[in-house]
Amino acid sequence: MIVCYTVAELRKARARLPAPVGFVPTMGYLHAGHLALVRQSKLENAATVVSIFVNPTQFDRADDLASYPRDVPRDLRLLEDLGVDAVFVPSADEMYPPGFKTLVRVQEITEVLEGAHRPGHFDGVATVVTKLFNIVQPDRAYFGQKDAQQVVVVKRLVADLNFPLEIRVVPTVREPDGLALSSRNVRLTPEGRRAAPLLFRALSAARDAWLAGERDAERLRERVRAVLAKEPRIRLEYVSLAHPETLEELEGEVSRGLLSLAAWIDDVRLIDNVVLEGEV
């Protein structure tokens, strides 16, 4: 496995890789969810490139950026064990050198849900993903369903800017108690960790209602709120049932949708989602 710290090194390594090349962009502190993306890429491509870069431009809060967990040596060991071909670990200066002025903005679908609560977040994501796609030039790129809005935004970006690559979406990996894997989970207190599985239980309650025939959008959202109201440690930021591509909030009878939420458990913000019929 070759580890590249600069764009020039990565380009040189990339030129020697056999096609097709799969790419897994990450912010490091890898967990089983990331490893599932890498395994999928390994299955579908002749070579796999992973990036590890805690992208400062997608953090709306300085404390969140500062406390984001990092362990690059451990990440590199995990990736080596999985047989990854090349890892790109750029510094912030390498990605955003002095004088950097360009922003990639996907409109409208970035202004709701996560975008409404994390101003500028998706501008940071779209910009860094654009840069990474240009640097790595993958044939396929792998994203987790857990960040459902990110998937919608990146698919739009790829279509709108004609990137010659395919976006592959891998299902959310969960703990046995249902908690979606996230690098932020390590910041939960023991009490917070005990409360956290309720997020997926709330989404599952609404999905069960959906499977039993409930089709009213507001009643489905209310199911989620009702379950979470039982746990005072959880502060729900939003629950949404939205159109899976436009992300417009749905009202009345629905035939499919993306049911998603964001919630605070103490000072840790977690997100999760389920798709009601069909795939995002």
> Which residue type occupies 92?
A
- Looking at the Cβ atoms of 128 and 198, the one nearer to ligand PAF is 128
Minimum CB separation of residue 46 from ligand PAF in Å reads 22
Q: What angle do CA 23, 25, 31 make, to 5 degrees?
A: 110
Which ranges of 196-262 would DSSP assign to H, the alpha helix? 197-211, 217-228
> Which of 86, 109, 113, 129 touches ligand PAF by CB under 6 A?
129
> With CB under 6 A, what is the number of residues at the site for ligand PAF?
10
The answer to whether 128 contacts ligand PAF (rule: CB under 6 A) is: yes
| 27 near ligand PAF (CB under 6 A) | yes
Exposed/middle/buried for residue 134 (C-beta within 10 Å: 0-12, 13-18, 19+): exposed
Confirm or reject binding of residue 185 to ligand PAF (CB under 6 A): no
Q: Where are the alpha helices (DSSP H) in 25-120?
A: 32-44, 62-67, 72-82, 92-95, 114-117
Q: Which of 26, 145, 260, 273 is in the footprint of ligand PAF by CB under 6 A?
A: 26
Q: Does 106 bind ligand PAF (CB under 6 A)?
A: no
Q: Which helix (H) or strand (E) holds 243?
A: none
Tell me the pairing of strands 21-26 and 140-144. Answer: parallel
Active site residue 117: no
Of 26 and 45, which has the nearer Cβ to ligand PAF? 26
Binding segment for ligand PAF (CB under 6 A), chosen from 65-73, 122-130, 234-242, 257-265, is 122-130
Nearer to ligand PAF, 56 or 197 (CB): 56
Looking at 12-20, 21-29, 79-87, 110-118, which segment touches ligand PAF (CB under 6 A)? 21-29
* Interface with ligand PAF, residue 115, by CB under 6 A: no
Segment 144 to 173, residues that bind ligand PAF, using CB under 6 A: 147, 150
Distance, CA of 86 to CA of 8 (rounded, Å): 13
Residues 47-76 that bind ligand PAF (CB under 6 A): 55, 58
The residue range among 24-32, 66-74, 110-118, 168-176 that interacts with ligand PAF, by the rule CB under 6 A, is 24-32
Segment interacting with ligand PAF, rule: CB under 6 A, options 59-67, 98-106, 121-129, 199-207: 121-129
| C-alpha pair distances (Å), 94 with each of 74, 124, 225, 256 | 22, 16, 44, 42
Sequence-ordered strand ranges (E) for the chain:
2-4, 21-26, 47-52, 86-88, 140-144, 166-170, 234-242, 257-265, 268-276
Q: Work out whether 87 is an interface residue with ligand PAF (CB under 6 A).
A: no
Catalytic site residue from 31, 34, 117, 243: 34
Tokens of 232: 């005072």
Kindly state whether residue 224 participates in binding ligand PAF, applying the rule CB under 6 A.
no
Helix (H, G, I), strand (E, B) or coil at 44: helix
For residue 20, say if its preceding peptide bond is cis, omega within 30 degrees of 0: yes
Q: Does 125 bind ligand PAF (CB under 6 A)?
A: yes
**Catalytic sites, residue numbers:** 34
**What are the residues binding ligand PAF (CB under 6 A)?**
25-27, 55, 58, 125, 128-129, 147, 150
